[in-house]
Structure 1
Amino acid sequence: MDKNRQEVLTEALTHILAERLVSLHWLFDELTIVIRANDVCSISGILRDHKDLGFDTLIDLCGMDYSTYGDETNALGQSEGRRFAVIYHLLSVSHNQRLRMKVFAENNDFPAVDSVTDIWPAANWFEREAFDLFGIVFPGHSDLRRILTDYGFVGNPFRKDFPISGYVEMRYDEKQKRVIYQPVSIEPREVIPYVIREQNYGDSHVD
């Protein structure tokens, strides 16, 4: 995207969204805007319907856990102590432009961001995935339930504090003739590779 098109899109978003725009920045020819959670539906409608924007296609939606980012994110004025965010990747077919929208959930203990399925129906399964893997709730979603993990799964596996081995494991029980759940039997261990190298390994020449 050339500089002129960057400037046009930046000016359009700044003018149209005005004070509802928390931040806007370019990186590697991609634009990211940050908005507040309570504005997600109204702004999404504007992004889709405004003639100067026309972001009619939702390419992707995913959750993020910023719990280990520390002061780096705060310095950008984006996180401000909020742990979970929803990222939207948008495409304007008519203007041939892309946009990334970031929305932070206000409550870390019960992260929630309104559903945008009425604006972009493609968000349906993406929001279910973010709910399943990160525990982000999407009020207004018509069928919010797990989509990747099992119905009896405990927790949200993409959260930074979720243990790598999980909480339970499943196996087929011959006596009961069904799949059962039980506590994880794998003992956590640290594996250190043992490497043997020849004396002059890596030298450009050997005397």
Structure 2
Amino acid sequence: MSAKLEALSQQLQDRFGDKLLSKKLALGELTVEVAAADYLSIMQALRDEAEFSFEEMIDLCGVDYSDYGAGGWQGKRFAAVVHLLSLTHNRRLRVRVFAESDEFPAVDSIASVWTSAGWFEREAFDLFGIAFVGHEDLRRILTDYGFIGHPFRKDFPISGHVEMRYDPDQGRVVYQPVTIEPRENTPRIVREDTYGDPAHG
């Protein structure tokens, strides 16, 4: 672990103690896991306290761990993962928080801390079904308003539940049952007998 990450890891441990459920170095970045109950207060501290000064939230995404590690995952299913950047200290931090419920996954919104989180949280809500409590405008952002389900969940069918098309007779978009037949494509390679033979061009 680099000296910079070692110092950050120690600062986090000193400040938050048992509120850090885990710390891990991966891909040259420090990842900490926090409980859903502590998530908002810790994120506020990471932005506001001078020893951390994470002024920028670079990314927030949802994750479905249900099939992680070839199906060997044990634990909560849905998480939000946030990437933070401190311009003051020139360092990054990844924060992960798991939703307590797999049936109705929900964590606090951090849009009040970093306003840029608003659209990222809408995306995670749309694609994974993670509700961000306290978000002022939590609605779908990429799929249609009538869309059923959350397409990035591991149990969402590849062909979806319905398909939509424009109906010229009705002059609008209509929904209908999926007409795509499930199939497996195996590529067939056809080559001439002389393929790759320099004598035959």
Given candidates 185, 188, 200, the residue that maps to 2:182 is 188
Given the superposition, is the C-alpha separation of residues 18 and 113 from structure 1 closer, same or farther in structure 2, using an over 3 Å criterion? Answer: same
Given candidates 91, 94, 98, the residue that maps to 2:85 is 91
Deviation at 1:125, TM superposition (A): 0.4
Question: Mind listing any 5+ residue stretches in structure 1 that lack a counterpart?
Answer: 75-79
Aligned sequence identity (%): 57
Superposition pairs of residues 44-193 of structure 1, within 5 angstroms: 44-69=43-68, 80-193=74-187
- Any conservation in 1 of the 2:127–2:152 contact (CA below 8 Å)? yes
For residue 77 of structure 1, what is the aligned residue in structure 2? none
Q: Secondary structure at the match of 2:37?
A: helix
CA distance in 2, matches of 1:3, 1:64: 28
For residue 17 of structure 2, what is the aligned residue in structure 1? 18
Q: How many residues align structurally?
A: 197
Given the superposition, is the C-alpha separation of residues 194 and 58 from structure 1 closer, same or farther in structure 2, using an over 3 Å criterion? Answer: same
CA distance in 1, matches of 2:56, 2:156: 33
CA distance in 1, matches of 2:69, 2:169: 50
CA distance in 2, matches of 1:48, 1:170: 43
Comparing 165-174 and 15-24, the one that deviates more: 165-174
Q: Secondary structure at the match of 1:189?
A: coil
Over residues 90-113 of structure 1, what are the superposed CA-to-partner deviations in whole Å (9 max), with x where a residue is unaligned?
000100110000001110000000
Deviation at 1:174, TM superposition (A): 2.1
Given the superposition, is the C-alpha separation of residues 176 and 201 from structure 1 closer, same or farther in structure 2, using an over 3 Å criterion? Answer: closer
TM-score w.r.t. the length of structure 2 is: 0.91
Given the superposition, is the C-alpha separation of residues 199 and 31 from structure 1 closer, same or farther in structure 2, using an over 3 Å criterion? Answer: farther
Give the alignment's Cα RMSD to 1 decimal.
2.0
CA distance in 2, matches of 1:5, 1:200: 59
For residue 26 of structure 2, what is the aligned residue in structure 1? 27
Question: Mind listing any 5+ residue stretches in structure 2 that lack a counterpart?
Answer: none
CA distance in 1, matches of 2:90, 2:70: 35
For residue 39 of structure 1, what is the aligned residue in structure 2? 38
TM-score w.r.t. the length of structure 1 is: 0.89
Q: Secondary structure at the match of 2:119?
A: helix
Q: Runs (4+) of structure 1 moved beyond 3 Å?
A: 70-74, 196-203
Over residues 27-62 of structure 1, what are the superposed CA-to-partner deviations in whole Å (9 max), with x where a residue is unaligned?
221110011111111100111111111111101100
